[in-house]
Amino acid sequence: MTAPRVLLTGAAGYIGSHTWLALLEAGFRVIGLDDFSNSSPEVLNRLQTLSGTAPEFVRADVRDAMALNAVFSAEPIDAVVHFAAFKAVGESTAKPLAYYANNIGGLLALTEAMQRHACKTLVFSSSATVYGNPEQLPIREDAPLSATNPYGSTKLMGEDILRDLQRADPQWAMALLRYFNPVGAHQSGLIGEDPRGIPNNLLPFVTQVAVGRRPHLQVFGNDYNTPDGTGVRDYIHVLDLAAGHAAALYYLLDQRRPITANLGTGSGHSVLEVVRAFELASGRPVPVQFAPRRPGDIAASYADATLAHQLLGWRTTHDLAAMCADSWRWQRQNPNGLAG
């Protein structure tokens, strides 16, 4: 049997690039698609170095129906992993139309192309953001869903669209994967998270403080109902996340059944715990300043990760120390990201 051929949209991004490598290592054939709206073409050189082969790649906007048609017509595609989307919560409240246009428009264009070409196997990047402010911890997949910002709405709508599509045509096999807080980088230090401008997320900010690009970390709130008062999240190593996509593809291609699953470790860490673990891993101080709570933030979020283990046979293997060590190696080797 020939290896399944998988299209990755948003393939040059943070999670896409790590998943690309994981799928190649798992024996899949991969074709990447990206418009570099939030990534750099340099990622392709790095992937070539890491994999030893030239990546098969199409530069296109996933909303471009003609470009998609050309990709699907060139050689049959067995499955798609759809990462391409905008993902900054704050920006989404300032530019809601751009978020709906890209995240919903991209999903519609992609699923229409897939339908036309009878490719009905899809992994969708969803997010723990669909749980809104969770009533119970750890969060199970059957918890109530809600959105607290336009970005979150695009993920919830994306899930709804796919659930409707699957109900209308049960031939669709889909995995809706709800990622918790992806951090870390490939151990080579060649690929990692490369945010543009001031990072929104905790780990990229911490690494930029450690490398001297920023003076201190602002800790948003120390009066939450958590053990040390700072926010608690389920940080998951991007390599574990990448492996989760390979597991989901095996499941879909084999079982042809839909699945909605959390991808998290199942345990939470506070902001201060992350800072301490990072200082230990890097040997660098990370000065902190306490600041007011960030609007829209919740006290704590961590996954019940049992379903993915039961159905996909997947579980995380990297702890917080490894996440910090790998984030640090990436930042140290690329102090200005891929642009510098």
Q: Which helix (H) or strand (E) holds 79?
A: strand 79-82
132 binds ligand NAD (CB under 6 A): no
Residue among 99, 131, 151, 302 flagged as catalytic: 151
The candidate with the shortest Cα–Cα distance to 12, out of 194, 142, 144, is 194
136 binds ligand NAD (CB under 6 A): no
Q: Is the distance from CB of 14 to CB of 238 less than 8 angstroms?
A: yes
Out of 6, 84, 239, 252, the only residue in the binding site for ligand NAD (CB under 6 A) is: 84
Q: Which is nearer to ligand NAD, 212 or 340 (CB)?
A: 340
| Residues 217-256: x where in contact with ligand NAD by CB under 6 A, - otherwise, as a string | ----------------------------------------
**Which DSSP symbol is given to 101?**
I
123 binds ligand NAD (CB under 6 A): no
Report in angstroms how near the CB of residue 220 gets to ligand NAD at its nearest: 16
Q: Is the distance from CB of 195 to CB of 202 less than 8 angstroms?
A: no
The candidate with the shortest Cα–Cα distance to 232, out of 134, 86, 126, 88, is 134
Is 151 annotated as catalytic?
Answer: yes
Q: Which residue is nearest to ligand NAD (CB)?
A: 13
129 binds ligand WQD (CB under 6 A): yes
Q: Which does 218 bind (CB under 5 to 8 A by kind): ligand WQD, ligand NAD, none?
A: ligand WQD
Out of 56, 61, 91, 279, the only residue in the binding site for ligand NAD (CB under 6 A) is: 61
Q: Is the distance from CB of 340 to CB of 198 less than 8 angstroms?
A: no
Q: Which residues contact 185 (CB under 8 A, 6 or more apart)?
A: 18, 191, 192, 193, 238, 326, 327, 329, 330
Q: Which residues contact 224 (CB under 8 A, 6 or more apart)?
A: 230, 231, 232, 293, 299, 300
The span of 58-66, 68-76, 167-175, 210-218 binding ligand NAD (CB under 6 A) equals: 58-66
Q: What positions carry a catalytic annotation?
A: 151
